[in-house]
Structure 1
Amino acid sequence: MSVAEAPRYASTWLDLREPADAAARATELADELRGRLADVPDPVILDLGCGTGSMARWLAPRLDGRQHWILQDRDPDLLGVAAASMIGSGGAITVETRQGDITELSAADLEGVSLVTASALLDLLDADDAARLAGACAESGTPALLTLSVSGLAELSPAEPLDGPLNSAFNEHLRQHVAGRTLLGAEAVEVISAAFEERGATVHARPSRWHLGPDRRELIAEWLRGWVTAASTRLGRAASVEHEIDEYLRRRLAQAAAGELTVVVHHTDLLALPGEAS
């Protein structure tokens, strides 16, 4: 998957999901990292696919001392937003931007890097990308904190019969073929974990679920539209099916607007520590 082929995400969607992301991430993995980096003077953190910089805004305050963040993304507009958002973080935090693609990462790119981070990104990789990422981190001895990877399950309450078929269809959509490559989708956590472990790393996995209720109505609505639209591409184009899906989305959006719908979207956070396997 090249830079040109990768999907683009609007900063408005990234801004909308940031509070839910922050609440979901596994803080115990950040605590583990803080201890690991305590003896590293001025650690350098490479944030892959940084988007608007939400990972840096979440993690930087949880780490001690001075830090230098390299914000990398394929989208120059998002890089500008991310860098501007870190202004005012204080003298302890310095930032640079780098336009690049996670699928082209090598050990040479990690020279002098103390930590690799990424958020909501692994499902867009294929098996070769996973091996390349794990290999680069293993060869350079760089730990990786990879958060909010989709786990393949969304729970809506009140439940409806179409929830399950849509969930399955959405997972099929995530495994789409792009330019002859099969994206990992909800299998990303398993594949990435195995790739790191095969290269001698210890991998810690923790759940990081979105818990969305009436206080997240706008996010629920935007998530619903994207989830249903993606899933519908796998459920056929018969008029009866399209009508059923349209009615489902209309009904669910009305429930969300009324504060009557809650959604739990399952993700997993991974912390890979090279060289610590027994």
Structure 2
Amino acid sequence: MSESGEQTVYAPEWLALREPADAAARSDELVGLLRDRLAGDAGRTGPAVVRDLGCGTGSMGRWLAGRLPGPQHWIMHDTDPLLLARAGATMAGTAADGAPVSVTTERIDVTALTADVLAGTSLVTASALLDVLTAAEVGALAAACVAAGCPALFALSVLGEVDLDPVDPLDAEIRAAFNAHQRRVTGGRRLLGPDAVAVATDAFTGRGATVHVRPSPWRLGPEQAALTVEWLRGWVGAACEQVPELAGPGAAYLDRRLTAGAAGRLRVTVGHSDLLALPDGDAS
């Protein structure tokens, strides 16, 4: 749940709540570029093999599988057995052209993937993952993908850009504290947070891949009230954890924002970007 500041705990309820907003935000344009690349993979025999890193309950697979043509075999990767079980049971059953989609699950640390593991993989994908990795981990993942000749589609990486309407005098301070929390050091790892897209772009282009980046913001209004409430609690909570002096003002700020939301007067735009990396300089 990177938007709410939580790196390691991904509650199924939170993932279910955010799934519609994620689906509305992801870039269809990048999927079009990806379809062109996969269609040109003349050397492939059998289904396209797609690895979903940090798959959670499988929302990325449910969104993407039905947008790609041809038979597909998805390998869902996560460290949480509960999430893996849900992902395996709820994946899309057919591709865009009605071809079959099969799925298996693997409990694995996605930072340990190598080019050898990715051999024969047609696509690596993930959603809301890059910002909870380190620069070294993103570099290793880029190196593995490029060495294996495997395209990579990473959706919904946070940018640190949050706009709220109406504005509040404390918006900028909460936003800055939250972004610092996203870049914190935890367990000896410095997380990338809002720097993830820039770091990933450099990591892939530095190894000869072509990178396409497109905006994929959440746009939250009265129709997404339940998600907005949970996002706000996490956003403000992480900011106050990072800057304890904000605890008192932050609680009052949260009350103001929740009151505005309950009255249908609050709209929030949370900036994300989607990134597609195509190895071998393929600009498709």
After TM superposition, the score normalised by the length of structure 1 is 0.94
Give the Cα–Cα distance (whole angstroms) in 2 for the partners of residues 183 and 104 of structure 1.
17
Aligned match of 2:257: 252
Residues 227-273 of structure 1 show CA distances to partners (whole Å, capped at 9, x for unaligned) of 00000122234xxx422211110111111122110000000000000
Give the Cα–Cα distance (whole angstroms) in 2 for the partners of residues 232 and 86 of structure 1.
37
Give the residue type in structure 1 aligned to 2:119.
E
- Tell me the CA shift for residue 277 of structure 1: 6.3
Give the Cα–Cα distance (whole angstroms) in 1 for the partners of residues 219 and 241 of structure 2.
26
- 1:272 has 2:277 as partner: yes
Contact 1:173 1:234 (C-alpha < 8 Å) held by counterparts: yes
Q: Any residues of structure 2 matched to 1:1-278 within 5 Å, and which?
A: 7-40=8-41, 41-86=46-91, 88-89=93-94, 92-237=100-245, 241-276=246-281
User: What is the aligned length?
Assistant: 271
Residues 181-233 of structure 1 show CA distances to partners (whole Å, capped at 9, x for unaligned) of 21111000000110001100000000000000000000000000000000012
Residues 194, 38 of structure 1: CA spacing in aligned structure 2 closer, same or farther, 3 A cutoff? same
Contact 2:65 2:92 (C-alpha < 8 Å) held by counterparts: no
Alignment RMSD (CA, Å) = 1.6
After TM superposition, the score normalised by the length of structure 2 is 0.92
> Post-superposition, which runs of at least 4 consecutive aligned residues in structure 1 deviate over 3 A?
87-91
Give the Cα–Cα distance (whole angstroms) in 1 for the partners of residues 282 and 49 of structure 2.
24
Give the Cα–Cα distance (whole angstroms) in 1 for the partners of residues 57 and 277 of structure 2.
24
Residues 36, 87 of structure 1: CA spacing in aligned structure 2 closer, same or farther, 3 A cutoff? closer
Give the residue type in structure 2 aligned to 1:216.
Q
Give the Cα–Cα distance (whole angstroms) in 2 for the partners of residues 129 and 266 of structure 1.
23
Give the residue type in structure 1 aligned to 2:8.
P
Structure 2 residue ranges without an equivalent (≥5): 1-5
Give the Cα–Cα distance (whole angstroms) in 2 for the partners of residues 118 and 132 of structure 1.
15
Contact 2:128 2:157 (C-alpha < 8 Å) held by counterparts: yes
Aligned match of 2:3: none
Moved more, 37-46 or 21-30: 37-46
Structure 1 residue ranges without an equivalent (≥5): none
Residues 9-55 of structure 1 show CA distances to partners (whole Å, capped at 9, x for unaligned) of 10100000000000000101001111111244511000000001001
Q: Percent identity?
A: 54
